[in-house]
Structures are given as C-alpha cells and as structure tokens.
Structure 1
C-alpha cells in the first residue's frame, strides 16, 4: 500500500515523506551505495530472472536507500538530490517481454534511476532505454508505481499501463498512494471541496488509498513555513503518521495490514529519517557525513537500540544487488 507526500513549496527545504504499509515485514535494510558499483538488472538476488539481454550498468551516483526483501530498492535518494519512492499499484502492466530491449527487473527500477540520474528530468529521459520486467517475491508480484522528486522541487509519477509508461511530470504532483490509477485519484480529489479548511471540514478517514490520498492532500496544503529543519521534518512526519495504517486495520483481499515504517527524505541537506512503527525511536542518517568507500554500508532498522543520529553505526556488509 503506502503513501508519499512531497513538500516543495517552503522555499528553503524540499522534503518527501512515505509510509510502508504491508501485510508482513518487508525485511528493510538501510544501505548506502558508493559510486562505481556494477549492477545486473536481470538478477533478483542470486536468481537470474532475465537471461536474455538484461540491463547492466555502473553507478554514476552514490545513494542512500531502504531495501525490500534484499532484492531491490523502495525508497531513498542519491548524492545529486534525486529521491524515489516505490508504492504498490495493482493495475501495473509492464507488457510482454521484448528481448530486443534491455530488461530491468522491477525491484531495481528505482535503484537504476538513482544510480544514473541527477534530476527528475534526467530520470524520465532514461525510460526509453530499457524495459521493466515483472518479478515476484514472497508470493506477490512487484506491481508498483514510482514517485520521483529532486532538490529543485520537481516531481514526477510513473505508472505502467499496456506496457507503456504513463508519466505525470510537474511540481504539482506531490501526493501518491495506490489504486486506482493516478488520473483517477486526481479526478476523485477534484470532487472534494477543501477551499475553506476548518476543524469541521469533513475528511475521508479510512485506510483505503482514496481516503489516504485526499487526507494527505488536505493536510499537506496546510503546512506552515517551518522555523528550522527540525520543524520541517516534524511537519512532514506528522502527515505521514496521520495517513498511517493502524495495526489490525482491514483492507479487502489483503486481509489485515499496517504501516511498517515511515521515512522523511530531506533533499536540501541530504538527511534521511526513519521511524519503525514497532520502535520507540526515530533514527536519522547524514549522507554527507558517511565515510563511504568502495563497499556498501548498511544498518538494520529493526535494531531497537538505535536512536537519533546513527550515521556512524552503518557498517560495511555484502549486499545482494
């Protein structure tokens, strides 16, 4: 499931928040990747998912990301100030595999953009150079869509329908949740009248993607200029908590799911904030203070001894992609 909110109207800070909502743990790991890493976009961990013409590349930019199931990237940003967030979208259709085009498994789609692009515009220019290929993990296909933003405040939403990318590009595209498609979500939001906000304004309050989209749009439009970065992060995190899914909340065929974690990316100062729902602590990483050599650094956010600035606690460990 999940929700993404971008705050790009403050004039000082560009920040994006997301929730990860899922029926089980996604086994997240926070990883800092160095430049110059060789990747194979046809592998899912150690498994070869695309034997015919996989996309291969060497990373241009270092990045700081949260992984999913050890096979891909769902959230994070790079040293140039490009951020990405992968969210579930059941209607995703990447089409039939065309071996004439380099293939990229969906779990590495976001990582590829972080590795190779320094802005939203540069990332969108890469879409014609490869074909995304559907893969599966833990019994579910990677039917996902992507939100991008950069340090200049630009934004884009990328979905796939009939094998082709559907792109919404512009600073105004600040909210994303899940099904229905983005066009339909915008139409549903337009039917709401939030022009005179007050404590009596009726808001959609359930956990489905339509309600979360509209609630996030309402509250993000009310954000006030922060006194400092700390207040700016708190403002975005407050919205992410507002659209989080409580434990035990029912959701159609998914049964019961909840928000596993929340993140805030500060693209202006390259800070990454992470809040695990089952931990009492918010942790953060200062990207510029990382001592990043030739090997990835990682940290397990399920370690409940972590609190505050954990930049120095990232350790070099093998990462399967």
Structure 2
C-alpha cells in the first residue's frame, strides 16, 4: 500500500447537493432494480440489475486505499479515510456509487423504495444517500463491520432507496432508512436473500401466500407490469435463491438476473467476493467485463481513477482506467442530467462542469 498525504482541496460548489437531489428525484420510481444473493459459504455470489429508462451512461471507478474524503453535504458533512480500495459502478461520478465491492469482499447495491424515510440522530456527521455506500466500502471489511458503523453517520437523503450488503462469508444485510434511523434485516430476520423496490417486510408477507413459502398461490413465472412488478420480481428471486442448494456460478447468476430484467435494464453486475471478481454486463456490449480487484492498482494517482462505461472493452479495460478529468466526467453528467426533461437544464455544459469539479474535489490524496 502506498503512503498518502492530505492536500488542500478547492471549495465545492454550494449547488452540488441540490443538483444531485434534483437529478435523483426525477429518476422514475418505476425503475426495477433487483438484487439477489447466493450465500453458499464455499462460493458466495451477489447479482444486481440496474434499471434506468433514460440512459446507461456512467463510470467504472477504482477507489484507492487511503484516500481522504469529505461529504458534499453542507453543514456537518462527514470526513473519513479509506481503509480499503474498491471498484464501483457510478451513474453520477466519483464518491457516488450505485453498486460496488471492496478489496475485503464487501459488496453493496441499492434499489428504489418509496417506503424509505430518512431520519435518525441529528448529531452525527452527514452523508448523502449515495455517499453512504462509498463510506461503508471505504471503512468496512464485512457486513458485521458495516453494521457497527451505522450510527457514526446520518444519511441526509432525498431519494427513497434501500441497500443490500453482502460479504465473502455469505453474510447479508438489508438496510432501510426509517424515521428512527436505519432499519436492519440480517441473520434470521433475512430469510430470503433478495431485494427489489418494495419494503422487505411487505415482500416477505407477499411470498408467504405462495407455494413453497407456506401459501397456495402459484409462484409467478414472469413479471407483470404496474404495482405488482416489484413483488413479482421478489417472488421470482425468492424461488431462484431457494432452488440454489449448491454453489451458483457466475453464468447461472446472470441467467437469474435475466429472469428479473426488463427493457430498461442497463447494467448487470455479478460479484464474487472470495475471488475478488466483478463481472459487468452492459446493455449493447457483446462481451462481459471481468474486473479482478486482486490485480488492480489501488495506490494514489492524484485524482479519482476510472473510465466511462461506453469506453470499456475486455481488451482495453486496464488501459482506459486513468485519473478522471473534469471534461470527461462533465460530458457523462451532461448526458445523464440532460436525458430527462425535468433536469435537462442541469445538463448544460457549465453546470455539468461545476458538478464534475465538485465531485473530483471531494476526495484527495498525494502520490509518493
């Protein structure tokens, strides 16, 4: 591991949290992200579908060990140092992951959940709903360690999402923002290792009516549209995880994700915590990308390291992972923000440049 030194960072634009909140508020709640886990201790696997109607733009980010971070939230924003390196898939930019895994094998995904309410202690330092994922990946080597850190920060979120955590032992946890803080499902309170866009309690109640889970209703063979879609996907995922009595290989995990996919599915990610591998399948790309965390360089390179998803190929993956420049990040942000009518004005080049600069400035390290 390379030693790191802090350095001064320019002040971030005050509009940064506002832009992020506006953007994610406009992401349609019909988005159908899904996570399911196969927790066999011999070969634990986590599988994730990211669904977003407007665009598949985003970045693969290599988050270095020892980096110093500060939250973009105004006021009592959290500050921390990264104990672990990680690789994340980010729609917005560095420090704002949608999903990822660290070098200890902790993986985290997110899904929309209208029932989420951000509350809890007002004394703890704050992070945004996406920074929370990076905070846990930076500081926690397992689900147990992550759960021990929940009260050290407070999520000051706007977008209703919940989180799925998974580690190299096959341990899992679901975190749901609630009025009194984060509601936790783990161990015996997490009988089905899956999550969609409905509260976990409601999803478990739903499948309790179905064959194989104590009820008489046939399990759905395919997804239905509308309000039942999330519950259908959870039921299908429950059947898939329940049927996996032995280890699940990556291709079987992708096949399971295909059962939960729809026309808005942009990224599919399969995490193998014990082998430190991430397999990324992008819509429209002919081949899967395999990211071996064990071979990544997690030493400081002076700026966040990554590449636009559109530039990634199996042959050039390592070559294109370079320190991010504001112009490239701004172009991707302009595409994401400009893709929706409600945030099209935020996709203007000058706004995107300011946002990109703030995201890059939120973390720092000095190469030695």
TM-score tier (shorter): 0.7 to 0.9
The reply to whether residue 148 of structure 1 matches residue 165 of structure 2 is yes
The structure where helix makes up a greater share of residues is 2
> What is the alpha-carbon distance in structure 2 between the residues aligned to residue 272 and residue 3 of structure 1?
17
SS of residue matched to 2:290 = strand
Counterpart position of 1:177: 196
Deviations 1:58-110 (A, max 9, x none): 11111111112226111111111111001111221103883x32111111011
Q: Is the 8 A contact 1:283 1:309 kept in 2?
A: no
Aligned to 1:235: 252
**Structure with max Cα Rg:** 2
Q: CA deviation at 1:267?
A: 0.4
Deviation (angstroms), 1:277: 1.5
Q: Note if contact 1:94-1:161 (Cα within 8 Å) is conserved in structure 2.
A: yes
**Which residue of 2 is the match for residue 118 of structure 1?**
141
CA contact (8 A) 2:279 2:291 kept: yes
- 2:42 counterpart residue number: 12
RMSD: 2.3
Task: State which of 194, 201, 210 in structure 2 corresponds to 1:192.
Answer: 210
2:266 to 235, 260, 285: 260
Aligned pairs (5 A) from 1:198-217: 202-206=220-224, 208-217=229-238
TM score, norm. by length of structure 2:
0.72
Q: CA deviation at 1:317?
A: 2.2
CA contact (8 A) 1:263 1:272 kept: yes
Aligned residues, how many? Answer: 286
Matches of 1:266 and 1:182 in 2, distance apart?
24
**1:309 Cα deviation from its structure 2 partner:** 8.2
Residues 113-172 of structure 1: CA deviation (Å, up to 9, x unaligned)? 0000111011011111111001xxxxxx42211000110111000001224211001274
Equivalence for 1:218:
239
Of structures 1 and 2, the one with the larger relative CO (CA 8 A, separation 6+) is: 2
Q: 8 Å contact 1:282–1:308 — kept in the other structure?
A: no
Mapped contact 1:220–1:239 kept (Cα < 8 A) = no
- Equivalents in 2 of 1:124, 1:26: separation in Å? 31
Mapped partners of 1:95, 1:223: distance in 2 = 37
Which of 264, 269, 275 is the matching residue for 1:269?
A: 275
TM-score by length of 1: 0.82
Q: Distance in 1 between matches of 2:210 and 2:240?
A: 13
**CA deviation map 1:196-232 (0-9, x unaligned):** 9xxx965353251111111111122223646xxxx70
* Maintained 8 Å contact 1:158/1:168: yes
Residue matched to 1:302: 310
Q: Distance in 2 between matches of 1:309 and 1:195?
A: 46
Counterpart for residue 99 of structure 2: 75
Q: Distance in 2 between matches of 1:287 and 1:150?
A: 14
User: How far, CA to CA, are the matches of 2:318 and 2:293 in structure 1?
Assistant: 8
Equivalents in 1 of 2:292, 2:160: separation in Å? 31
Q: 1:202 and 1:54, CA in 2 relative to 1: closer, same or farther beyond 3 A?
A: closer
Residue 285 of structure 2 corresponds to 279
1:29-108 counterparts in 2 under 5 A?
A: 29-41=59-71, 43=72, 50-70=73-93, 72-95=96-119, 98=122, 100-108=123-131
* Structure 2 counterpart of 1:252: none
2:204 & 2:318 partners in 1: Cα distance?
A: 38
Runs of at least 5 residues in structure 2 that lack an aligned partner in the other structure: 1-31, 326-358, 363-368
Classify the secondary structure of the residue corresponding to 2:294: helix
Unaligned runs of 5+ in 1: 44-49, 135-140, 247-257
**2:34 aligned partner:** 3
The whole-number CA distance in structure 1 between the counterparts of 2:220 and 2:117 is 35
Q: Is the 8 A contact 1:5 1:175 kept in 2?
A: yes
Q: How far 1:235 sits from its partner (Å)?
A: 0.8
Deviation at 1:290, TM superposition (A): 1.3
- Counterpart Cα distance in 1 of 2:116 and 2:246: 37
